[in-house]
């Protein structure tokens, strides 16, 4: 295993790379599946994966991958998404043209496109990848929406900043590692463990009245602060679900240990995905 390599999806300059830089040496992969595979086979130290965005919501595929691979969440980090309009040197945003970016980035900049009818959005696979394509193409009528770092890496002019409709555009990332290698991890920036979170996933008997209420009551009755719940459909049977839950505290805290034991008495499956602090 490469000791300091941190897998991420995308090209250099992607927001995921910004997250990876906080933990070690970024190593790009084309897909989230490949990044998870690299962690599972210990080709990398860890990986950073986006799990939710404050505007776009959850990245559902990554929730599914957390359950499908033998990985554990060991940290989380938050990256402010600051979209810039990038063009080749000499390009002007007043000209007619197309703007490439990831579909989520394009959807976060609707007001920009409404005020620039001369520019048409065009879907691409990645924000930083869009910047790379624009730089390689050399066409002054082709632009990209990506990070400032992407513009600097690919030699593009920053024609406009702060394109997102809302200022509070933040992506939450999980840092994952192989579940057998979570002890004594050392990162470039160590997680703040003063207020840890735990993430779990569980399943319940289908069509049992009040089962989800009883599951959440195992936390509520112990004053455990629930911060997120996400349901994902099971791939094995129609209309059955996995429930992903985040709450404040560590899995080894006696109160949480008892809550998980109680939940396990009636849930058909309970898996702890990790207890972790935040990396700034």
DSSP 240: -
Residue of 45, 173, 174, 202 marked catalytic: 173
Is 98 a residue of the active site? no
In the chain, which ranges are E strands?
A: 5-9, 25-29, 46-53, 57-58, 71-80, 84-87, 97-101, 119-123, 142-146, 157-160, 170-178, 192-203, 226-233, 241-248, 269-279
Give the integer Cα–Cα distance in Å for 39 and 178: 6
Q: Examine the residue annotation and report whether 242 is marked as an active-site residue of this protein.
A: no
Instruction: Measure the CA–CA gap between 11 and 94, rounded to whole angstroms.
Output: 28
- Considering only CA atoms, which of 166, 110, 104 is closest in space to residue 130? 104
Could you tell me whether strands 119-123 and 192-203 are parallel, antiparallel, or unpaired per DSSP bridges? Answer: unpaired
Catalytic residue among 77, 127, 171, 203: 171
| Positions marked active-site | 171, 173
């Amino acid at each position: 295993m490469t000791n300091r390599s941190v897998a991420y999806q995308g090209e250099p300059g992607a927001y995921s790379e910004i997250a990876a830089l906080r933990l070690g040496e970024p190593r790009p992969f084309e897909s989230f599946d490949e990044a998870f595979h690299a962690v599972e086979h210990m080709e990398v130290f860890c990986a950073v994966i986006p799990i939710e965005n404050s505007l776009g919501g959850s990245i559902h595929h990554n929730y599914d991958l957390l359950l499908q691979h033998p990985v554990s969440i060991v940290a989380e980090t938050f990256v402010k998404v600051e979209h810039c309009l990038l063009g080749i040197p000499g390009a002007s945003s007043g000209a007619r043209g197309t703007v490439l970016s990831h579909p989520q980035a394009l959807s976060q900049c609707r007001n920009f496109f409404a005020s620039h009818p001369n520019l048409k959005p065009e879907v691409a696979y990645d924000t930083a990848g869009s910047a790379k394509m624009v730089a390689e193409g050399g066409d002054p009528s082709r632009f990209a929406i990506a990070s400032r770092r992407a513009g600097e890496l690919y030699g593009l002019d920053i024609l406009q900043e702060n394109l997102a409709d809302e200022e509070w555009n933040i992506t939450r990332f999980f840092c994952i590692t192989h579940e057998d290698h979570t002890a004594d991890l050392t990162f470039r920036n160590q997680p703040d463990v003063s207020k840890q979170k735990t993430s779990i996933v569980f399943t319940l008997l289908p069509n049992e009245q009040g089962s989800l209420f009883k599951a959440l009551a195992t936390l509520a009755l112990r004053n455990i602060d629930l911060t997120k719940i996400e349901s994902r459909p099971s791939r094995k049977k129609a209309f059955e679900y996995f429930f992903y839950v985040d709450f404040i505290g560590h899995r080894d805290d006696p109160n949480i240990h008892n809550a998980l034991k109680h939940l396990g008495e009636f849930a058909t499956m309970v898996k702890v995905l990790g207890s972790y602090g935040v990396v700034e």
